[in-house]
Amino acid sequence: MIKITKYESLFRSNKQKYNEKVIIQMKKLSPHIYLEQCQSALDYYTQIFGGEIKNTQLADGIEMFKGHEGKLIHAELHINDACILYFADVFGHVEKGNHIWLSIDLESEIELQAIYEALSQDGQIKMELQDTFWGTKYGVITDKFGLIWELNFSK
């Protein structure tokens, strides 16, 4: 069940700003947890919550993760159909507050662009919107309150 809300968003086009209402229809919002020893954490949480580990991908053989072989770049703990936790190994310095990211799968590229622009207005872009090797358009922003948002649109 998706709740539809209206969101006033700022778009930038040719260095001009204009307001446009966009209907936001997220597919889902999921926590993305970054930990050292990710596989151990997955095993631990599986013992506690039950469920099944799925969609694991190692850094092995991926050029941008060279030197991090054996680390998980993505794994999912499917506790049930409604509760899925995303996990990944740490690939840099982690401080309290930046080890859990909120991942949004969006319905359209327009919706992706609207949220990206709104969050980046007073936030900090960690990764520009870009096409990815896993088949999405993807970007990462730290908002003005320090929350980290992963924005995805599957093509």
> Could you write out the three-class secondary structure of 114-144?
HHHHHHHHCCEEEEEEEECCCCEEEEEEECC
pLDDT tens-digit readout, 136-150: 999 999 988 787 989
Q: Which segments of 1-71 are extended strands (E)?
A: 5-13, 16-24, 28-35, 52-58
Residues facing 3 on adjacent strands: none
Query: Average pLDDT in the 88-115 region?
Result: 84
Domains within the chain, CATH numbers bracketed: 27-154 (3.10.180.10)
**Model confidence, pTM:** 0.61
Distance CA 51, CA 45 (A): 9
pLDDT tens-digit readout, 66-100: 999 999 999 999 988 888 989 999 888 777 667 78
> Which is nearest to 38 in space by CA: 67, 1, 75, 80?
75
**pLDDT surpasses 80 at 102:** yes
